[in-house]
Amino acid sequence: MILITGATGNVGREVVDLLRESGEKVIAVTRHPSTATFPNGTDVFLGDASRPHTLISILKGVKTIFISPRALGDSTAGSATA
């Protein structure tokens, strides 16, 4: 079982989709589970990697953790304009 933090972000979402397409069992962790939509068979939990205590109860059976952190600071940093 693979746990993905930041599962509703750009990178996290892609990782969840690719893993589910390959048949992996996935736990998607997000700060906003009520608005998250994922492929069938994806377990979705409320959690925040910056608050590790929110992850403890969902770690049972997890073999791999993929941490996709949220962006910090200026949300326009790194963006390009034409």
Q: What is the pLDDT of residue 63?
A: 94
Structure tokens at 36: 């998250």
Q: Tell me which of 19-23, 69-73, 74-78 is least confident.
A: 74-78
Q: Does residue 14 have a pLDDT over 80?
A: yes
pLDDT digits (tens, 9 = 90+) for 25-59: 999 999 988 888 998 999 999 998 888 888 888 99
Report pTM: 0.76
Q: What is the mean pLDDT of the chain?
A: 84
Among left, alpha and beta (phi > 0; psi -120 to 50; other), residue 10 is: alpha
